[in-house]
Chain A
Amino acid sequence: MMLLGLFIILLLAIFLGIPVLLAIGAVGLVGFILNDLNPAFFPQKMFAMLDSFSLLALPYFILAGELMTRGGLSKKLVEFAEKVVGHVRGGLGHASVLANIVFANVSGSSTAATVAIGSILIPAMKERGYKGGFAASLIAASGIIGPIIPPSMTMIVYGSMAGVSIGGLFLAGIIPGLLIGAGLVGLIFLFSMLPGFDELRKTTGRFDLMEVLKSVKSVWVALLAPVIILGGILGGVFTATEAGVVTCFYAFVVSLLIYRTVKWSDLPGILVNAAITTAMVVGIIAVAGGLGWLLSYLDFNTAALSAITSVSSDPTIVMLMLIAVMLFMTMFVESLAVLVIMIPVIVHIGSQFGFNPIHLGLLMVFATQIGATTPPVAVLLFVATSIAKTPYDQTIRCCWPFVLTLIAILLLCAFVPATATFLPHYFLGQ
């Protein structure tokens, strides 16, 4: 009863608008006191949660992203993507998907991708007659490629909390990330054939290889990033944290010494910004460490497992139920909060049913990202809608084909584990 009460109060507090870190911290501390546990354990568990080398990948990749996206990289990426696919039906839509795939190589956050790409492409789409709600939905849906294709902040969070190889998770995201891209491109093609979507049939000029090569010059930083990030991990040489350090160094050299988009005097500001972004995520992980300990003390994991097995003990159905629970919860509550609260339960259930930890991790990260684009509470749709300056109900009407496409790809990844496990198995033997 106490367990259920704490859980409901926590979700309510987050839904009401209390910052996630504060809500988890306050509910956790109150839980410790109500259960006659020494509250001094709470900060100790917070500290223990952060005392991890793999978590260090997060600040390094965030800093690298901050350095590389200075100097208008997103604008150059959009121009590059338009030159590559602008001549095809639904060109601007495809450009959004392609720009997101490349942007995902330097940024591991769907919100950052939606803001960076959306603020350039949504006005351009509206100018060419795209409906605001459609443009917002498309940008939000393609924004989730960011945390699926490496590097990924969400995967670092999952990997460090669940004790799963972050390098393995990074590799596991590549095929599903490309599948999302292919699915969205297919959907845009489909729309372009429907009556009422004349704007999607407009194209932007002809394909010119010389122009494409010229624009590569301005985006090679992003195109080369995966070679550096994945090169070391694929060779089994680097850990994810070391890949983060090297990417950071690469971004530093490119931005300060080659492109000169960042001045030495900008560095303190960039470092503080990156630290704040890191603290927003890692702070939640810290308090989740305290709450997670309390929940396992109260046998939450066992209760969740018996609730699930009372419905079915078929592994496929259990996997589908986990996906459904994550999709449902993230429809109402902020997706990172859901993930950090649920990770211990997911790991417990996953080990009981013998699920591949990398496959399971990929599916859970993917599901929480879809939650961020599923109404009523959909952070990415909120961001894209505000950029599109369009009513939210129009976005809600337009978003469902995109959400259903993403769910279909998620199910494909669930039923064909090789989509996630092939690369980690081939390169890392995991």
Chain B
Amino acid sequence: MQRIFKTGAAVFDKTLETAIWVAFSLMSGVGVTQVFFRYVLKSSLSWSEEFQKYMHIWLIFLAIPLAYKNGSHIGMNVLFDRMPLRMQKWFLILVDVLWLGMGVALVRYTLRIMTVAKRQTSPGLGLRMDAVYACIVVCGVALCLMAMRKLIERLRAIKSSKDTAL
């Protein structure tokens, strides 16, 4: 069971990372192409600005859960470092629960916007706007999965440390 859990988590992380670097490469590629078209060929691409903007938004919402997984999000640790170890563990669990709540809220409320956004299309690429907004739903789902994973790991660690103490 634990092996399936670990493999599933690794596949999920790898998929997220691949999507991120592919999106970043496409965005940068289009950015360079646009500069070339505008300054060398003197003819701008009409869709490049919108493509880069939406790719950037997708990139950000895919990278937010990954930054959470790595513990990279900007935060202060002045008080945290001074907490007793036991309190630190429970504080981290509280933070994971908050991330879980945030993930659920993002999915729930963005789905509401998407029902309206599906009737709109973007001016440059002609994309249905619900497809663009979907990145926030993906971010929310990924945050929930990451948070649940972290919660299971933390609670397991607390339980095993209690067992060892006994």
A interface list, Cβ under 8 A from B: 14-22, 25-26, 29, 39-40, 42-44, 46-47, 50-53, 55-56, 59-60, 63, 237, 241-242, 244-246, 248-249, 267-268, 271-272, 274-284, 286, 333-334, 336-337, 376-377
Could you mark each residue 9-34 of chain B with 1 if its beta carbon is under 8 Å from any beta carbon of chain A, else 0?
00000000110110111011001101
- Check if B109 sits within 8 Å of A22, measured CB to CB: no
In the complex where A43-B106, A53-B49 touch, is A59 in contact with B78 (Cβ < 8 A)? Answer: no
Can you pick out 9 interface pairs between chain A and chain B where the beta carbons lie within 8 Å of each other? A15-B76, A20-B75, A21-B73, A248-B31, A275-B21, A276-B67, A276-B72, A279-B59, A284-B74
A222 shortest CB reach to chain B, Å: 21
How many A-B residue pairs lie within 8 Å, measured between CB atoms?
163
B66 located at the interface, meaning its Cβ lies under 8 Å from any Cβ of chain A in the complex: yes
- Check if A279 sits within 8 Å of B80, measured CB to CB: no
Q: Which listed residue (B20, B34, B64, B136) contacts A21, Cβ 8 A?
A: B64
Alpha-carbon distance between A344 and B20 when the two chains are bound, in angstroms: 31
4 shortest interchain CB distances as A-B pairs: A279-B63, A17-B80, A19-B73, A271-B21
- Check if A40 sits within 8 Å of B74, measured CB to CB: no
A262 shortest CB reach to chain B, Å: 14
Alpha-carbon distance between A280 and B74 when the two chains are bound, in angstroms: 6
Alpha-carbon distance between A18 and B79 when the two chains are bound, in angstroms: 10
Chain A contacts for B127, CB-based, 8 A: none
- Check if B21 sits within 8 Å of A267, measured CB to CB: yes
Q: Which listed residue (B68, B73, B136) contacts A47, Cβ 8 A?
A: B136
- Check if A16 sits within 8 Å of B60, measured CB to CB: no
Alpha-carbon distance between A224 and B143 when the two chains are bound, in angstroms: 41
- Check if B77 sits within 8 Å of A275, measured CB to CB: no
- Check if B64 sits within 8 Å of A283, measured CB to CB: yes
A396 shortest CB reach to chain B, Å: 13
A89 shortest CB reach to chain B, Å: 36
Chain B contacts for A248, CB-based, 8 A: 28, 31-32
Alpha-carbon distance between A412 and B105 when the two chains are bound, in angstroms: 47
Alpha-carbon distance between A268 and B16 when the two chains are bound, in angstroms: 12
Q: Which listed residue (B63, B98, B109) contacts A42, Cβ 8 A?
A: B109
Alpha-carbon distance between A9 and B76 when the two chains are bound, in angstroms: 15
Known: A20-B74, A280-B74. 11 other contacts (CB 8 A): A18-B75, A22-B98, A40-B109, A43-B106, A59-B24, A267-B21, A271-B25, A272-B24, A272-B66, A275-B20, A275-B60
B90 shortest CB reach to chain A, Å: 12
Alpha-carbon distance between A272 and B22 when the two chains are bound, in angstroms: 9
B interface list, Cβ under 8 A from A: 17-18, 20-21, 23-25, 27-28, 31-32, 34-35, 38-39, 49, 52-53, 56-57, 59-60, 62-64, 66-68, 70, 72-80, 91, 95, 98-99, 101-102, 105-106, 109-110, 112-113, 132-133, 136
B92 shortest CB reach to chain A, Å: 9
- Check if A43 sits within 8 Å of B136, measured CB to CB: yes
Chain B contacts for A276, CB-based, 8 A: 63, 66-67, 70, 72
- Check if A25 sits within 8 Å of B64, measured CB to CB: no
Chain B contacts for A15, CB-based, 8 A: 76, 78-79
Chain A contacts for B68, CB-based, 8 A: 19
- Check if B24 sits within 8 Å of A274, measured CB to CB: yes
B132 shortest CB reach to chain A, Å: 8
B37 shortest CB reach to chain A, Å: 12
Alpha-carbon distance between A237 and B35 when the two chains are bound, in angstroms: 11
Alpha-carbon distance between A44 and B130 when the two chains are bound, in angstroms: 11
- Check if B60 sits within 8 Å of A334, measured CB to CB: no
In the complex where A18-B95, A40-B113, A51-B57 touch, is A283 in contact with B28 (Cβ < 8 A)? Answer: no
Q: Which listed residue (B24, B39, B78) contacts A377, Cβ 8 A?
A: B78
In the complex where A17-B79, A18-B98 touch, is A279 in contact with B60 (Cβ < 8 A)? Answer: yes
Chain B contacts for A237, CB-based, 8 A: 39
Alpha-carbon distance between A283 and B140 when the two chains are bound, in angstroms: 13
Chain B contacts for A55, CB-based, 8 A: 56
- Check if A22 sits within 8 Å of B73, measured CB to CB: yes
From A25, which residue of chain B is reached at the shortest CB distance?
Answer: B102
- Check if B32 sits within 8 Å of A245, measured CB to CB: yes
Chain A contacts for B34, CB-based, 8 A: 245
- Check if B60 sits within 8 Å of A50, measured CB to CB: yes
Chain B contacts for A272, CB-based, 8 A: 17, 20-21, 24, 63, 66
- Check if A271 sits within 8 Å of B60, measured CB to CB: no
Alpha-carbon distance between A24 and B73 when the two chains are bound, in angstroms: 13
- Check if B77 sits within 8 Å of A17, measured CB to CB: yes
B3 shortest CB reach to chain A, Å: 25
Q: Which listed residue (A43, A267, A284, A337) contacts B113, Cβ 8 A?
A: A43
